[in-house]
Amino acid sequence: MADEGNQTAKKVCVTGAGGYIGSWLVKNLLLRGYTINATVRDPGDTKKSRPLLELPGAEERLRLFKADLGLEGSFDSAVEGCHGVFHVAGPMDFTKPNPDDFIVPAVNGILNVMKACAKAKCVRRMIFTSSVTAASPMNDKGEFMQTCLDERCWSPLNFLKSQTTKLAWYMIAKTLVEQEALKYGLNNNIEVVTILPAAVIGPWFNSTPAF
């Protein structure tokens, strides 16, 4: 993604920068010379913003933006001028009592970010953090299949919709969000790369974890 002869090509956006993955991304991108537009829900929340602003290179090359996945247009300013977007943020609120309250905001959120990428007309690639739960090796009966996983493998939505657990809602949300991102990118000439971690572990780079 980087082009050493073109500083504009080294400008990227990181959504959900106050979280674990997002904060490490910001730190490592700064170390590699990138200029970063980072989004957080509340720049005034010093618990999450101060550790980012104190990173080496942050004063010159990091700018925080307030953005909400639930608000269309909220990411337009942060994405403007960027050639790449690392989309880490996700509205996964397990306190929601109904599946639609859990799933719909997640799908709308990815579309809001993708629309911002399309409006900017300079984003070449979006790297999106999905989940291994979007590629569960089950069939429509909920039976686990003994086959290798690849890009053709999706968690079975029909089976998951028959379940009432919040884990099933989470799996539906992650599957639909990834499918929407790939489809939107294909239709709008934006390369979408998805990463499906099974777990994320490791140390915080600061003494105040940004939960």
**Quick one: tokens of 157?**
């939505």
Please tell me whether residue 34 adopts helix, strand or coil conformation.
Answer: coil
Residues of the chain with pLDDT under 70: 1-9, 92, 146-148, 205-211
Over residues 105-142, the pLDDT tens digits come to 889 999 999 999 999 999 999 999 999 889 888 888 88
Model pLDDT, residue 206: 59
* CATH H-level superfamily of 7-132+177-195: NAD(P)-binding Rossmann-like Domain (3.40.50.720)
User: pTM for the whole thing?
Assistant: 0.87
CA distances from 92 to 102, 104, 109 (A): 7, 11, 11
Domain limits, the chain:
7-132+177-195
Mean of pLDDT over the chain: 87
The span from the CA of 135 to the CA of 107, in Å, is: 17
